Amino acid sequence: MAEPTVLAVILNWRTAPMTLRAAECCLTAMEGIAGAITIVDNDSGDGSYEALVQAVADRGWHRVRVIQSGHNGGFGAGNNVGIRAGLPGGEKPDFVYILNSDAFPAPDAIRQLLDYLLAHPHVGFAGSHIHGPEGDPHTTAFRFPSAWSELEGAARTGPISRALARHTVPMALPRHPARVDWLAGASMMMRRTVLDRIGLFDETFFLYFEETDLCLRARRAGWETHYIPASRVAHIGSESTGMKRWTRIPQYWLDSRLHYFVKNHGAMGAMAATLAHVAGGLVWRARRLVAGRPRLDPPHFLRDLIVHDAKAGLRALTQPRRAPARQTAGKSPARRP
């Protein structure tokens, strides 16, 4: 039986030095594993591509190649460029491993994911335990969003959270390998046969919700997603998106959220999710007024959400209906790298 191959894809957007560090850790973690590493520069436009090509050549990294996306379509689109490129010889890998440019796998992190998928043929996707530079665990295992989770997450109120505990999106991190709904894409391995069946990342998502959608499509096709705590990856987080410094919720987050709900739950389901979020948000704001709670959302978040989704609803009502775009296995925006 041929040795299974792994294609590791690292997406760069204006973080060339950090991407090289991630690639170096990835190279160590790929020792003894057949395959290659592809760095995709997501049209950084700041000299990153040229710097990466030169650094890879200078370091003699024969298992690493650098390609240019040609267009910054976001996280999913950039990763799709690397996945479609395949292995350097043009062959399809048996497994695809995606790694953020600010994530640094332990020496056995990739092997842990590969061995787990080889031993569990019913599992389509497997993801790592992600922790901060000081070892603090990051929440990267989740349940699928729903109208109930929108209410719970926006209300942030004990009685509501207890009543809706089984709908809360963030999960307590399992101590042993366990099935989850979806995983953050900072370090995740996927069966290529599953991607062939369900398609790659939906490129309508520029940033956020793309892994959620991919894992949901896998679930609906009969494949499980598992969290593997023995696979450990250090992660800085939000280096490309600037999420920690947001002063206003970005348009692309609102677009991605709405697209996820409309695509997977229909227009009425999306409306229910938004109404539930607004209701929960009003509960939280009432608590803030009474108890002096701190602001947790970006400024004007609830107003921005309402205006965004109302405008989208009006456009849907007034524009002629078009046939939905067909998603294929080979076709399915920067982020998180």
What confidence score (pLDDT) does residue 94 get?
A: 98
Residue 126 lies in a domain: yes
Residue 53 lies in a domain: yes
Domain of 127 in residue numbering reads as: 5-243
We report the CATH number of the domain holding residue 117 as: 3.90.550.10
Summarised one tens digit per residue, pLDDT across range 173-226 is: 999 999 999 999 999 999 999 999 999 999 999 999 999 999 999 999 999 999
Residue 192 lies in a domain: yes
3-state secondary structure at position 255 = helix
Residue type, 207: L
Domains in the chain, number: 1
Residue 331 lies in a domain: no
What confidence score (pLDDT) does residue 331 get?
A: 37
Q: Is the pLDDT of residue 334 over 50?
A: no
Q: In whole angstroms, what is the distance from residue 287 CA to residue 155 CA?
A: 9
What confidence score (pLDDT) does residue 328 get?
A: 41
pLDDT over 70, % of the chain: 92
Residue 94 lies in a domain: yes
One-character DSSP codes across 227-247:
EEEEEEEEE---TTT-GGG-S
Q: Is the pLDDT of residue 238 over 80?
A: no
Which distant-in-sequence residues (6+ apart) come within 8 Å of 337 by Cβ? Answer: 10, 11, 12, 13, 15, 19, 42, 75, 78, 100, 101, 102, 239, 240
Residue 155 lies in a domain: yes
Q: Is the pLDDT of residue 100 over 90?
A: yes
Residue 335 lies in a domain: no
Helices 75-85, 210-220: inter-axial angle, 10-degree rounding: 60
Residue 337 lies in a domain: no
Summarised one tens digit per residue, pLDDT across range 141-157 is: 999 999 999 999 999 99
